[in-house]
Amino acid sequence: MKKKKRAELSQNIIAIVYDFDGTLAPGNMQEETIFRAYGIDKKKFWARSQQLVRNRGYESTLAYLRLLISDPVFRDRPLSQAALRRMARKIPYYPGVADGYFQELDRFMRSIPEVREWGVTLEHYIISSGLKDILDGASIRKFFKKIYACEYDYENGRPVFPKLVINDTNKTQFLFRINKGRLDLSEGINEHMPEAKRRVPFSNMIYIGDGITDVPSMTVMNKSGGHAIAVYDPSGEVPREVKEMIAEKRAEHFAPADFRPNALLIKILHRTLKQIIHSISFRLSSKRSTDWVRRHW
């Protein structure tokens, strides 16, 4: 416990925060899981969801969450937590994500002397507008310290109401939770916390996202001294919105969502991690010499 406290004050924790759909996995997570299991046509489903937005003023995340409860197929055969977790096995990932990316990054960290010297640790987080229950069943779940995504409240085993909704703009709240170390929703987030008391300073954070829905998060990262990387489907061209994110300086770098060793994204990550590790090391070694001088003079 004592050790943990000291580590937190050293601000030697690095966090990589990922969007999920289009960042770690192609498409929407509902498509390969729920839609497949229920034989739902994705175009029709998203069109109905859009109708709720246009005709009835729904917020778009709430619109899809509502359909997954009230559409006739789900009324007849409601989703359950266990079924969602089981369906997660069907999620297709971008290259490398499910086969070695997290382990490779750990090996990379361990190979850097300053990481050992200053006890630097790396944590991974997901902030997604998809469903937490699907992500909790994902094969890569164990690599994440915390996953934030939409959650249902269940009564008698069926979802009755969304208890947590995550959309593009409120995603930023969770960046501050990671920053302040207040990971639990029951913990307040709004009171002021001095920079030196924050568990993971923004300069130690890297956000990886793929699209327009990540713009608010990338903007927070950039304005707060953090790092942002835009990714796109490796099988296609660089999309216009990724080019715009770079041109508008919302993201520092962009690369195909290829997480295999030697891919451009990994090179960018290695460089960014080294940069963060050097500044942690510089800060902690200057602090050590100042403390020494104070004690001896």
Q: How many residues bind Mg ion (CB under 5 A)?
A: 5
22 is a contact residue toward Mg ion (CB under 5 A): yes
Q: Which is nearer to Mg ion, 21 or 32 (CB)?
A: 21
Which is nearest to 20 in space by CA: 5, 34, 30? 30
d(CA 179, CA 219): 15
List Cβ neighbours of 115 (8 Å cut-off, separation of 6 or more).
Answer: 109, 277
To Mg ion, the closest distance from the beta carbon of 118 in angstroms equals 33
> Under the criterion CB under 5 A, does residue 123 sit at the interface with Mg ion?
no
Range list of H helices, the chain: 2-9, 29-30, 36-38, 42-56, 60-70, 72-76, 81-87, 101-110, 113-117, 132-136, 171-180, 215-223, 240-247, 264-296
> Tokens for 55?
């005709």
Site for Mg ion in 148-187 (CB under 5 A): none
Return d(Cα 292, Cα 297) in angstroms, integer: 8
Give the residue closest to Mg ion by C-beta. Answer: 22
Distance in Å, CB of 32 to Mg ion, minimum: 15
Report if residue 133 touches Mg ion, rule: CB under 5 A: no
Pairing mode, strands 158-164 and 205-209: unpaired
Which of 31, 151, 210, 252 forms a contact with Mg ion (CB under 5 A)?
210
Question: What's the closest the beta carbon of residue 281 comes to Mg ion, in angstroms?
Answer: 33
**Residue 19 touching Mg ion (CB under 5 A):** yes
| Site stretch for Mg ion (CB under 5 A), options 1-9, 11-19, 90-98, 216-224 | 11-19
Q: Nearer Cβ to Mg ion, position 210 or 258?
A: 210
Q: Interface with Mg ion by CB under 5 A: which residues?
A: 19, 21-22, 210-211
